[in-house]
Amino acid sequence: MRSDVKLGPDPLLSKPGRSYWGLVWRQFRQDRLALAALIGVLLLFLVAIFAPLLANDKPIYLRMQGRSYFPIFKNYHRFFETDFKALADSLAAPDLALFPPVPYSPTEYDLTQALKPPNQYHWLGTDDRGRDILARMIYGARVSLSVGFVAVSIYVLIGVILGSLAGYYGGVPDVFISRAIEVMICFPTFFLIITIVAFLPPSIYNIMAAIGITGWTGVARLTRGEFLKLRSREFVEATRALGASDLRAIFRHLLPNALAPVLVVATFGVADAILIESSLSFLGFGVPPPTPSWGDILSQSRSYVDFAWWLTTFPGAAIFLTITMYNLVGEGFRDAVDPRLKQDR
């Protein structure tokens, strides 16, 4: 796999006091590509969290007539419906207006600037209503990441609970849950999601819920398998012999041991969920306008695809890069969790 891994002292013995997750992190760190991807993902998170400070039509800081204002953080009565850009143009020293790096809001349109290729004002160009693509993409990151995380959290929760019950108890509960999983797998997930979303009012929460309630089968099967494997381990019997209840054995003793592979799958799952959300938005089932989403920008570009390359390239690249980064993180994580896969040099 990699040739730069040195056979040092046994990682289990070299440092005292290492927890399991500490060991996993040590392994993960050695995979440069995965580490870079993790940093990329974290940066994307920062972008999503601080989107209003990165792209906004209001200044971060405004000094006027000797007073300071922070229009992004606070609504001032005197600036109600003020056009800050016109205001900024009229300011003279020492008054000043400090705008974010992208001085456009995702919904601010200017028809005189429609369909402009990337230029000094609009770094990634504008769409057919003159909205800034970069601003829309920055806000679109919020949609993508939150859909990815919330949807995956929902299905990890469902999958882990059902999978652990099936794996721990076996017998009748296992038969029911396993059959439910098989029935669920028979449906083509994407069409099932479209069907569910079609019946619900368009909202980002319904998309999260739809992905969440359709995606749990993989996690459930994996958790069930891990529990089957772990159930016969002595420490489970030992904890029960020392008086622990079933629920305690499941959630406190077995689950932490089964969690690592589940989290690996969840990491890949976030990538999938982002892709599903983009596809839904592209098909028009996604987040309702004017909320920007990467898939939504792509969708609008369809009419202008023969000349407006910036409309397809940038959101497409954002989706591609995000998915790739998540997959790289997932792969690095998987290798770190499962040392057997790593040592095939």
Partner 1 sequence: MPLPAAAPSLEPLLRITNLVTTFRTERGLLRAVDGVSLEIPKGGKLGLIGESGCGKSVTALSILRLIPDPPGQIESGEILFDGQDLLKLPLSRMRHIRGNRISMIFQEPQSSLNPVYTVGNQIAETIRLHQKVSRREARERAIAALKQVGISDPERRVAEYPNQMSGGMCQRVMIAMALSCHPELLIADEPSTALDVTIQAQILELITSLVREMSMSLLLITHDLGVIAETVEQVAVMYAGKVVEEAEVHELFQNPLHPYTTGLLRSLPKLGAEAGQAGHQRLQAIPGLVPSPLDLPFGCPFQERCPLMKPLCGQEMPELEEKRTGHRVRCFESC
Residues forming the site for partner 1 (CB under 8 A): 12-13, 16-20, 170-171, 233-235, 237-245, 248, 252-253, 256-257
Measured CA to CA, the distance from residue 291 to residue 341 in angstroms comes to 42
**Nearest distance from C-beta of residue 25 to partner 1, angstroms:** 14
User: Do residues 135 and 106 lie in contact, with contact meaning Cβ atoms separated by under 8 Å?
Assistant: yes
The neighbour count for residue 271, using CB atoms within 10 Å, is 21
**Nearest distance from C-beta of residue 214 to partner 1, angstroms:** 31
DSSP string, 69-132: E-TTTS--GGGTT--HHHHHHH--TT-EEE--SB---TT---GGGTTPPS-SSSTT-B-TT--B
Q: Which is nearer to partner 1, 219 or 254 (CB)?
A: 254
Q: Which is nearer to partner 1, 29 or 252 (CB)?
A: 252
Closest Cα to residue 294, out of 155, 133, 162? 133
Bridge partners (DSSP) of residue 97 are 62
Closest Cα to residue 260, out of 24, 33, 27? 24
Q: Which is nearer to partner 1, 24 or 275 (CB)?
A: 24
**Nearest distance from C-beta of residue 343 to partner 1, angstroms:** 18
**Nearest distance from C-beta of residue 45 to partner 1, angstroms:** 27
**Nearest distance from C-beta of residue 234 to partner 1, angstroms:** 4
Q: Which is nearer to partner 1, 92 or 247 (CB)?
A: 247
Q: Which is nearer to partner 1, 81 or 234 (CB)?
A: 234
Longest Cα separation, the chain: 79
DSSP string, 240-251: HHTT--HHHIII
Q: Which is nearer to partner 1, 85 or 253 (CB)?
A: 253
**Nearest distance from C-beta of residue 2 to partner 1, angstroms:** 25
Place of tokens 């904890």: 239
Q: Which is nearer to partner 1, 86 or 241 (CB)?
A: 241
**Nearest distance from C-beta of residue 256 to partner 1, angstroms:** 4
Measured CA to CA, the distance from residue 279 to residue 190 in angstroms comes to 9
